Structure 1
Amino acid sequence: MVQKQNFIWKNDRNFALDKYEQQQYYYVVESNDLISKAKHDLTTNQLKIIDFLISKIKPDDKDFEELETSMYELTNVLEIKRSGRTYNQIADTLDDLRKKEVTIYNQDRESIVRTGWVSSAEYFKNGKVILSFDKKLAPYLLDLSKNYSQYLLIDTVKLKSKYAILLYKLMREADRDNGKSITILQGTPEEFKEWLGAPKSYSYNSLKNQVLIKAIEEINLKIDDMNLEILQGRYGRKVVQVEIHNNWTVQRATKENTEYVESISTMIG
């Protein structure tokens, strides 16, 4: 394991072949099982780093290639100021990520996969970093033709809360017709706690107020094609079902845009 004192960054170059501003508009493509059936405890920054690395996978890749990036790029991904101290913190975050486990239920094989996210990380004094995904993740990230979701990297990069990032991904996974109708994500309060990694000790009110509402507010503020609201189903006084609706649809957005253009044209005319 690389020791803290060995991280001596000599410069601030961007070693990536693609400019980060362009890569923000690359797609993150992953199996739905990795979104809704995986258990992990990644931090907000680690979720963003994983999405960033996934966005570097090419559609025709059959095996994992080493992924080259830099501390310069990673500070942009995490939207933090670049400095030697920051670089050390990112290296610590990557080392912690390398040790963390993800558990995935594989419905087709009727099995449970337990593996790490990153199998290796190599750091260079000039700021370059080379990372490799664990090969056990290949069925969930490579050569996907069905049961997958995709979204722009920039969407999860701009979200600040890990709950918002995870809820955003679940809403993308629940959208089966690309926004042609209202997307509905439904589950019990216990399922939402599991999906979002909320404390098991949370009451429903704590889950709603500390996790769901805050995540919904952030998503609605920052994601253009999401307009989320929460609905509840009760048995007696107890909430037994939760639904998150994305009321944004392609048809509604097209209509609103047309009405806006027509109103502007009328004002100009």
Structure 2
Amino acid sequence: MTSIPKNEQNQKQVQILNELSKRKVVEHNSLITSIAKMDKTPLKMFELAVSCIDTEEPPKDHTVYLSKAELFAFFKVDDSNKHTRFKQAVENMQKQAFFKIKEKKEHGFEFENIVPIPYVKWTDYHDEVTIRFSPEIMPYLINLKQNFTQHALSDLAELNSKYSIILYRWLSMNYNQYEHYSYKGGRREEQVEAYRNPSISMRELREMTDTVNEYKLFTNFSKKVLDKPLEEINDRTSFNIAYEKVKKGKSIDSIVFHITKKRRADDNSYKLDDKTYKEVKAEKKESEKDLVFKAMESKYTRLLLENFLLSPYEMTDTSLMAGLQKNVYPKYDELKALRGLEGVKKHLSYVHDKQEPYSKGNVAKYLKKAVDQYLPTVKLQDLDQPERASVRGKGASHE
């Protein structure tokens, strides 16, 4: 067989690594906090296989396909013994790899032991590797409507310790939630900051890293499970991590991690650029201020006051006014374009006449629902009676 020139091999490996760098690993948080009963190579191989899953179109028969070239590039293996090492890695993964998953349910905890990849097939004459996930692991990889974490495969490729991989996944889980709630809201300031400075008890940390019966002295534990792995994470991934020990009496009770993300101009996924929650909140408040100012100046606010759908007292509620400007007034613009300002006035008069007592609890929501229900009727009328659409300012009743 003709051998491929070394230079060409290197170029191909660089190309494959560039492709791998674009992939993400997406997993349910319960899988991340589970006990990974496997060494670093099977764990990294599992993560590589997961990165092949398209969660929008889950693979048929729970099967994905890798190339040996991808595997060798991911593990940076280029020696003549690589096929033997690959075979050993696959066999080790299937012999020893399983996850112990603990999930909180309504009446207590549920425990599962899952072998994630029971079937692997390859040949010595073809590049393709077939990997089949177990049906039991699939819900943790594809049913990701909530409580899931996404992290970069390229970061994982750089980690060479089981503990650094486990810690990286857990830290990513927390930082993802910090990013999410910083932008979306829904948590108090101290809760959001707690995601960026997560705490874990020593008992939970030992369970997660599968070291309940190892490194009994904390000095040994910190060196093997914390210091060296975190040094690797800091050197080779997008995170900078520090930690502090929290004592209870004379014993170390828990560990608090402090996560910051490195600034990288070439990666759009690093949205926060290490802004604090206070900075993000200040920006959101500034944006809300603009909305409130526009709402105060809007002719629609005056019409709502005239129709007793809004009171001067309610105008002091900045969240309400921002909500009107953002969610309701654009709908009135649509209605105005179809029926003129007079059409908006008639709509508001009708809404006032039909106003339900409960609507006062959430004015913006009520008004948006009313106009959302009315606009399709107006558009349908214009399709049925084109001449009606050309008449601006004459209004239209709510049939």
Interval of TM-score (by shorter of Structure 1 and Structure 2): 0.7 to 0.9
Residue 207 of structure 2, aligned match among 179, 186, 194: 194
Cα offset for 1:82? 4.2
Q: Does 1:45 align with 2:44?
A: no
Q: Percent identity?
A: 19
In the alignment, what sits opposite 1:185? 198
CA contact (8 A) 1:72 1:82 kept: no
Counterpart code for 1:222: R
Residue number in structure 1 paired with 2:258: 245
Q: In 1, Cα distance between the equivalents of 2:54 and 2:139?
A: 14
Contact 2:179–2:272 (Cα < 8 Å) also in 1: no
- Offset of 1:34 from its aligned partner? 0.3
Equivalent pairs, count: 240
Change in CA separation of 1:200 and 1:236 when aligned onto 2, cut-off 3 Å: same
Structure 2 equivalent of residue 152 of structure 1: 152
Partner of 1:218: 232
SS of 2:198's equivalent in the other structure is: strand
Sort the Cα spacing of 1:145 and 1:10 in 2 relative to 1 into closer, same or farther, 3 A.
Answer: farther
Instruction: Show structure 1 runs of 5+ residues with no match.
Output: 1-8, 256-269
Preserved CA contact (<8 Å) 2:36 2:208: no
Please say if residues 149 and 172 of structure 1, whose CA atoms lie closer than 8 Å, have aligned partners that are also in contact: yes
Displacement of 1:246: 0.7
Whether contact under 8 Å (1:193, 1:207) holds in the other structure is: no
Which stretch shows the higher mean deviation, 179-188 or 40-49? 179-188
What are the equivalent positions in structure 2 for 1:15-26 lying under 5 Å apart?
A: 19-26=16-23
Distance 1:10 1:177, change over 3 A: farther
1:72 paired residue number: 69
Give, in whole Å, the separation in 1 of the partners of 2:254 and 2:246: 5
Match of 1:32 among 29, 41, 62: 29
Shift of 1:247: 3.5
Distance 1:231-1:56 versus aligned 2 partners, 3 A rule = same
Q: Structure 2 length as normaliser, TM-score?
A: 0.55
What CA deviation, in whole Å up to 9, does each residue of 1:72-131 have, x standing for no partner?
Answer: 211111112243x22122112112212332221232474222221112111112242111
Distance in 1 separating the partners of 2:166 and 2:245: 20
Please, what TM-score do these two structures have when normalized by structure 1?
A: 0.79
Over the aligned positions, Cα root-mean-square deviation in angstroms equals 2.7
Q: What displacement does 1:151 show?
A: 0.6
Q: Is the 8 A contact 2:16 2:73 kept in 1?
A: no
Tell me, yes or no, if the aligned pair for 1:64 and 1:138 is still in contact at 8 Å: no
Question: Considering only CA atoms, is the larger Rg found in Structure 1 or Structure 2?
Answer: 2
C-alpha separation in 2, matches of 1:39 and 1:10: 46
Cα pair distance change 1:10/1:53, threshold 3 Å: farther
Code of the aligned partner of 2:118: S
Q: Structure 1 pair 254/71, CA: closer, same or farther in 2 (3 Å)?
A: same
What is the deviation of 1:137?
0.6
Structure 2: unaligned runs, 5 residues or longer? 10-14, 183-191, 263-270, 277-399
- Quote the residue 2:117 is aligned against: 118
Residues 197/11 of structure 1: CA separation in 2 closer, same or farther (3 Å cut): farther
Query: Quick one: distance in 2 between partners of 1:108 and 1:236?
Result: 33
Which deviates further from its counterpart, 198-207 or 165-174?
A: 198-207
Compared CA separation, residues 214 and 64, structure 1 to 2 (3 A): farther
Check whether the contact 1:170–1:185 (CA below 8 A) recurs between aligned residues: no
Amino acid at match of 2:224: Q
Residue type at the aligned position of 2:117:
V
Q: Which has the higher helix share?
A: 2
- Residue 40 of structure 1: SS of its match in structure 2? strand
Following superposition, the deviation at residue 170 of structure 1 comes to 0.6
Q: What corresponds to 2:86 in structure 1?
A: 90
Secondary structure at 1:241 match in 2: strand
Cα separation, partners in 2 of 1:177 and 1:86, compared to 1, 3 Å? same
